Chains A and B, each alone.
Chain A
Amino acid sequence: MVTAKDFTGEESAWCPGCGNFGILTALQKALAELNLEPQQVLLVSGIGQASKLPHYARGHVFNGLHGRAIPPAIAAKLVNHELNVIITDGDGGTYGEGGNHFIHALRRNPDITLIVHNNQVYGLTKGQASPTTDQGVVTKIQAHGVPVPAFNPLAVAIALNASFVARGFVGEPEHLKNLIKEGIQHKGLSLIDVLQPCVSFNKINTYQWYRQRAYKLPGDYDPKNKAGAMEKANEWGDHIPLGVLYLNPRLVYEEQIPVLKNGPLVKQKIDTSKIVKVLEEFC
């Protein structure tokens, strides 16, 4: 029987009280409850505090470049679709540096779980605005306040017909764990944006700030209603909805690639005998 302990990795370098701990614990529990072995899981990340998570959990790890977690994750899934591929990356990496990959991953819809640690600030570089920092927030770089509205990842994902769009909060650990479980089980790209306080550099969006505003979507909420989902995605400020905002089951990317119908690419025999016939095309 697999337990959350089986997913314990290296000692962490996160600040005490960091919201990342909550995401790590929720992920470890989710993996154990789904009875997955570390060998069946590939954790992919970029750079930033969030991206250190794979080292602190257990599984195969591809900790790549800043903003570039998504491409190697999709490639690994295409090469070996038996792996459970989970990305853990920050708001800067996913929505800023890697924005183009984010957009096109949503279009492709590979069967990958994308967990975004959204603390609305840059932590590792010490306190600059992130794409999700609210307009008007003062930082040492944005001394007159962030001049532009925040990036809304959930609205963008819904607009692009993403198949699974959710928001969690580390202050709701059980709810978050269940969201991650649902995301892993969902066929297609599951975006889980997780509200996560940065205790060192974000003095505004604290545990208390989120607690006062976050609420769980009611049981009768219909996540398959796109217009309703868009409305919820645009709710921010005094009320912040948590849960699966949008569900849109659609074809999974790797299932549309004919070559992969013969099993995982990595297990397919290399047969180059047909080259002889191909050479005739040049004669």
Chain B
Amino acid sequence: MNLDYNIVIGGKAGQGLQTISDALSKLFLRGGYEVFTSQDYMSRVRGGHNFFMIRVSDRPVSAQKPKIDLLIALDQETIDLHWPDLEPEAFVFYDGESIHLSREDKRLVSIPWDQIASTIGGNTIFANTIAVGACCGLLNFDLGLLAGLLQEAFAKKDPKIVETNLKCAKAGYELTKNLKSRITIQSGKTSGKMYINGSEAIGLGAIASGVKFYSGYPMTPSTGILNYLAGKSDEFGIVVEQAEDEIAAINFVAGASFAGVRAMTATSGGGFCLMTEGVSLIGCIETPAVLVLGQRPGPSTGLPTRTEQGDLEFALSAGQGEFPRFIFAPRTPEDAFYLTQKAFNLADKYQVLSIIMSDQHLADSGWTLAKFDPDKIKIERYLLNEQELAGLKEYRRYDLSETGVSPRTIPGASRHLVIADSDEHDRQGHITEDLHWREEIVKKRLVKYKYMQEEISLPIKYGDNAAETVLIGWGSTYGAMKEAVDLLNAKNRKVAMLHFNELWPLPVEYLSRELSKYDNIVAVENNATAQFMRIISGQTGILSTHKILRFNGQPFYPQLIVDLFQKEVITYGDR
């Protein structure tokens, strides 16, 4: 039987949920298991209801599942809210000394971790370690791995802290080891995989791509990238500039790229609104840049800490005027790592903005993935080399060419002057109102699309070869959709999936050909209006027959897609 075990850790912000979740996720990774960890938190520093969900399996997982096998409750609200989702054989760990429950149930197991922590370590701060130890006890999980983890985390601080933590972990372990768990998790060989979230993967991808300048203003769910790069800035020689606002951030990026280094910013919808004039500036002066748009539910401030795919059409049309851009939407952190490289290389090659569409679900969720291969990363700058520069009698930054791409150099690389102007400009880059030339330069910028199109990889096609129904999705819905396709096909629903991570320019010819094969075209999107499908329809003239949409601020999970499919797509007689 396949192992598929779901742990939820819930409580108030500030109670250490993240610490417990990180420790458990890493333990399972080191035990050779696959993990998918998602978080659901409220927009506040203290209090509220927040939870982490760790799904453990012996095969790759990249989506949540709703039913809970183990609930670690740090407050009563967690028990009340998640009670309906508990499996019949589940367990609930809680501290019966501080949480007094009126209900009685064999699944409830009180572990007085505050008291134990005080006795062993003289401080309730160790309660979280007891909870982790209890989890290991229940699943018969190798305590040696936990010892190693604690060693890494605290050895630098104080060996005594390691010792106390170990004692606490053992105490938790002893209390639960005799419980009859539905499953036990035996630590096997390590899988050689890594555990990483989307923000870290994008940050790492940017570092591997040679990013030298990052500017941003903190905004959930993009702040993780700012944090990650700031932490690595000294090691990799990156200037990380916290801007006074998002307008400054994107103008910093434009200036840094003009001056010659790879530059990036990240924000969320509200910040992106402020950046749009800068997006247009980058389009006008044809200066490469990468922008990560971490989506969260709008309109306006919306639900700051939740997820949505609601800004795709905005990203596609942001900025005044007509100019080309790339839009990418990573499916997983692994995809994000490699796509970030592609975003940088293509931005440089075509002298355009690459937008990477992320969302809270991708940014904050943790995956076990094959270790990234930095050897696969190639940095291609497409700048004039010394010889070419020396051979130029006169340098014209915006010369016409077949591909629309003009020769690019940077200030200081040679004796040539580099001119950039947000006004319409001549070949040199100087302001002009020559209206004949205006048409030439608009065409020059837009002809790039013809060649940019050829750079785009086709979507993943997955599922039944003789499918009558196709699900169309993009970005972070990949894991949930893929699993849903398997579940549907197990019921002989004859379903396939087309899943996109390179969205724009859209592969129009391919789509026109491919979509004509299906009776049912189902848009599956984490938004209220099926934006990507609308873009496809606009470009191909092909409409969807059905829509499966979620816009309550939470991501899809496989069974939800299956349930909505039964409701929306299957006609009554077929059910």
Interface-located stretch among B172-180, B238-246, B300-308: B238-246
**Selected contact of A104 from candidates B248, B411, B412, CB within 8 Å:** B248
Determine if A61 is an interface residue (Cβ-Cβ < 8 Å).
yes
On whether the beta carbons of A76 and B251 are closer than 8 Å, the reply is no
Q: Which of B234, B371, B415 contacts A39 (CB 8 A)?
A: B415
Residue of A nearest to B414 (CB): A39
B195, B210, B258: the one contacting A272 at CB < 8 Å is B210
Pair A266/B261 contact, Cβ less than 8 Å: yes
- Contact check, B419 vs A61: say whether CB atoms are below 8 A apart: yes
- In the assembled complex, the Cα of A68 lies from the Cα of B418 at a distance in Å of 19
Q: Which of A151-159, A209-217, A273-281 forms contacts with chain B?
A: A273-281
A75 interface hit (Cβ, 8 Å): yes
Structural contact, B422 and A64, CB atoms closer than 8 A: yes
Q: Which of A52, A55, A258 has the most CB of B within 10 A?
A: A55
- Contact status of A274 and B236, CB under 8 A, knowing A55-B431, A75-B259, A283-B29: yes
Q: How far is the CA of A117 from the CA of B255 in the complex (A)?
A: 22
Chain A positions within 8 Å of B443 at CB level: none
Choice from A78, A100, A274, A282 contacting B239 with Cβ under 8 Å: A78
Q: Is the CB of A55 within 8 A of B421?
A: yes
Instruction: Give bound CA distance, A275 to B196, whole Å.
Output: 14
A81 to chain B, nearest CB (A): 10
Residues of chain B within 8 A (CB-CB) of A9 are 430
In whole angstroms, what is the CA distance A228 to B417 when docked?
A: 43
Asked if residues B412 and A72 are in contact (CB atoms below 8 Å), the reply is no
Q: How far is the CA of A80 from the CA of B238 in the complex (A)?
A: 13
B248: chain A residues within 8 A (beta carbon) = 68, 70-71, 100-101, 104
Interface string of A64-97 (1 = CB under 8 A from B): 1100101111111011101100000000000000
Size band of the interface chain B makes with A: 35 or more
Query: What is the 8 Å Cβ interface bit string for chain B, positions 167-209, against chain A (1 contact, 0 not)?
Result: 0000000000000000000000000011110001000100110
Chain B residues within 8 Å of A259, by CB: 233-234, 237-239
Inside 8 A of B238's CB, which chain A residues have their CB?
Answer: 259
Nearest CB in chain A to that of B234: its residue? A258
Is B343 in contact with chain A by the CB < 8 A criterion? no
A1 in contact (CB, < 8 A) = no
B421 touches A59 (CB 8 A): no
Contacts of B429 in A (CB 8 A): 61
Q: Are A10 and B430 CB-contacts (below 8 A) given A82-B412, A83-B259?
A: yes
B574 at interface (Cβ–Cβ under 8 A)? no
Bound CA span A147–B419, Å: 40
Query: Whole-angstrom distance between the alpha carbons of A155 and B234 in the complex?
Result: 37
Decide: A279 and B194 in contact? CB cutoff 8 A: yes
Min CB distance A137 to B, Å, is 29
Residue numbers of B with Cβ under 8 A of A are 29-30, 193-196, 200, 204, 207-208, 210, 212-213, 215, 232-239, 241, 243-245, 247-249, 251-256, 258-261, 263, 277-278, 281, 371-372, 374, 377, 379, 410-412, 415-423, 429-431
List 28 A–B pairs whose Cβ atoms lie within 8 Å, in order of A's numbering.
A39-B412, A39-B417, A47-B423, A60-B411, A60-B418, A61-B417, A61-B418, A61-B429, A63-B421, A64-B255, A70-B248, A71-B247, A71-B249, A72-B255, A75-B213, A75-B252, A76-B255, A100-B244, A101-B248, A259-B237, A268-B212, A268-B237, A272-B207, A272-B377, A275-B208, A283-B29, A283-B195, A283-B371
